[in-house]
Structure 1
Amino acid sequence: METPENAPDNTPGDSDWLRNLQRAVDATREGQRDGPVDPAWGPVGPALLLDDLARSMGASTRTSATLAGDRCPSLAERRAAVVNAARRLIEKTPVG
């Protein structure tokens, strides 16, 4: 079983990135404790998912255009998509 002490180091090696990720994890925990963030996720999963999503949506316009094959969403549209995805990820889904 992996523990924090023997887990592989997959971080980008950037202490600022790690500090920012820790703040996101702490905010997720707080949101889960206070109610607005769905507690079905652990606090680390959403932070990593949103970080990866933001990085991928921040890809250059050339990369996006190549992958899309047609009209490429602008950087502003891609940023808006990340914000929308973040809202949808953290909101509680009604059961039933």
Structure 2
Amino acid sequence: MRREISKWYSPVLNKEMDIVAYGEYGFALLLFPTAAADFLEYERFLLIDELKPYIESGKVKVYSINSINSESWLNDEMHPADKAKRHQQFN
């Protein structure tokens, strides 16, 4: 199974964002990490292993990206309005 990690720069967030792709072609499945986890969370928790037959057969190509929850909702030092603004930048 093909696995490719790359980065892209988000001018809106003003930071590089990590992304991992599994497979070569198929219906795009985009995964967002839970809470403050990272883009490799689903690999560590073996979800990618469960999807492997669908990935290898070309039914799906899975993408998993980083979140910015630690820079928004989970940041206890930010004002709630600033948390919402940062989250909106992620959208």
TM-score, with normalisation over the residues of structure 2? 0.27
Which of the pair has the greater relative contact order for Cα pairs under 8 Å at 6+ separation? 2
TM-score (norm 1): 0.26
Structure whose residues are more often strand by fraction:
2
Larger CA Rg, structure 1 vs 2? 1
Q: Which has the higher helix share?
A: 1
